[in-house]
Amino acid sequence: MRLRYAVLGLSLSMAATSASAATDAARKLAQDAIVVDTHIDAPSELLSHWDDLGVSAPTKEFDYPRAREGGLGVAFMSIYTSPEEDAAGTAWQTANTQIDAVEAMVGRHPDKFAILRSPGDVEKLRKGGRVLLTPGMENGAPIGDDLSKLAGFHARGVRYITLAHSANNRIADSSYAQKKKWGGLSPFGEQVVAEMNRLGIMVDVSHISDDAIRDVLRITDVPVIASHSGMRHFTPGFERNISDELALAVAKEGGVVQLVFGTGFVSAKAASDMQAYFAAEAALEEENAKLAAAGKPQKSKDEFEKAWKDAHPVPVVHIDAVLDQIDYAVKLLGVDHVGIGSDFDGVSGNLPVGLRSVADYPNLVEGLQKRGHSDADIRKILGGNLLRVWGEVEKAARR
């Protein structure tokens, strides 16, 4: 996710909750099912502070020992680039460096990790307790304005692309942008979606504006995903989370909404604070632009951010907040269209009590079991639905 959570008053907390408190039945199901988490920000974390994730890495939320404890089978590694890197022309370099980091994890520990390029290879590659890693690109900025780079990233293993992040880009409008540029997808963005369909790269509608999602659904020939979104029902007015209308439209086309764990997306207060922050930040930038044009001193961004953080402490939420989202999504969309995309290592430790690291999927399983979900349905939510969509996208590309 990478959204300056410290600035938003969401303080860092690396405390991990063990899944040992989960029932034996929950832990057994988590180990036996194929758990697919579509959004883990380990690569960008490795670039900021390297750790060997094949062994215990307590300052991170993803490492091999805890992934195995939690039953994680497939981890989509977020290849994140920022709007600032897009503007500077460095997004392509950053993306490739992060993919290198994922490949290095496998090279260092081939007995623990493997690159997964096709859902048909899951059973073969996970033998021996391997955790399978697939790059998922967060922000389409690394392709620049060169459509051919999509094929290059597909060759490197990228299997979904989040079209935009926290700012409008060449492809699409961002849900966070105060002023939209395109009114949805750009003309180039329409070509990007069609080319992703052709190559077999899943289109990810998390982060983009409502109108951009509508454009995607108009153009795509295959199901799409929301790799890490909350349900807007719980955070009214927060465009970053998906609306009931658009979630239903994604499901109608066979897609899946992967529900996020981060506090900022499951807490109405935290989501409201985030919206207010972006509005206040935009107002400050506009005011500073006017001051600069008039030759006057600009207001301090650091002072603004410190004051904002002090005035907006992060709320504490519990695992029930995520379970509520899953329950609601299942009732709205049907169990075949719901999955999980945690945002581990992407929200500065601001996660619900009970879902603090990749060790904690059994806690989620136990909560779903207690709420009456069958084990067969839980398997779908944990990963079966995502693997189905991925397989359909791959099959259509081969045709």
Residue 15 confidence (pLDDT) above 80: no
Cα separation, 163 vs 227, in Å, equals: 11
Residue-level pLDDT at 366: 98
Residue-level pLDDT at 20: 61
Residue 95 confidence (pLDDT) above 60: yes
Q: Is 238 helix (H, G, I), strand (E, B) or coil?
A: coil
Architecture of domain 19-267+316-398: Alpha-Beta Barrel (3.20)
- More confident of the two residues 331 and 280: 331
The DSSP annotation for 58-69 comes to TTSS--HHHHHH
- More confident of the two residues 305 and 42: 42
Q: What percent of the chain has pLDDT over 90?
A: 83
Which range among 125-139, 167-181, 270-284, 294-308 shows the weakest confidence by mean pLDDT?
A: 270-284
Residue 8 confidence (pLDDT) above 90: no
Beta strands in 207-324 (DSSP E): 225-229, 256-259
How confident is residue 19, by pLDDT bands cut at 50, 70 and 90? Answer: low
Cα separation, 144 vs 150, in Å, equals: 10
Residue-level pLDDT at 17: 44
- For the purposes of burial, counting CB atoms within 10 Å of the CB of 396, is it exposed (0-12), middle (13-18) or buried (19 or more)? middle
Quick: pLDDT tens for 219-243. Answer: 999 999 999 999 999 999 999 999 9
How confident is residue 18, by pLDDT bands cut at 50, 70 and 90? Answer: low
Contact between residue 334 and residue 251 where contact means Cβ atoms under 8 Å apart: yes
Query: Which of 142, 178, 134, 141 has its CA nearest to residue 159?
Result: 134
- 228: its two tokens: 């890490």
Write down the domain spans for the chain: 19-267+316-398
Element (H, E) at 80: strand 72-80
- For the purposes of burial, counting CB atoms within 10 Å of the CB of 152, is it exposed (0-12), middle (13-18) or buried (19 or more)? middle
Query: Which of 53, 43, 40 has its CA nearest to residue 102?
Result: 43
Phi, psi angles (nearest 5°) of residue 166: -95, 10
- For the purposes of burial, counting CB atoms within 10 Å of the CB of 49, is it exposed (0-12), middle (13-18) or buried (19 or more)? exposed
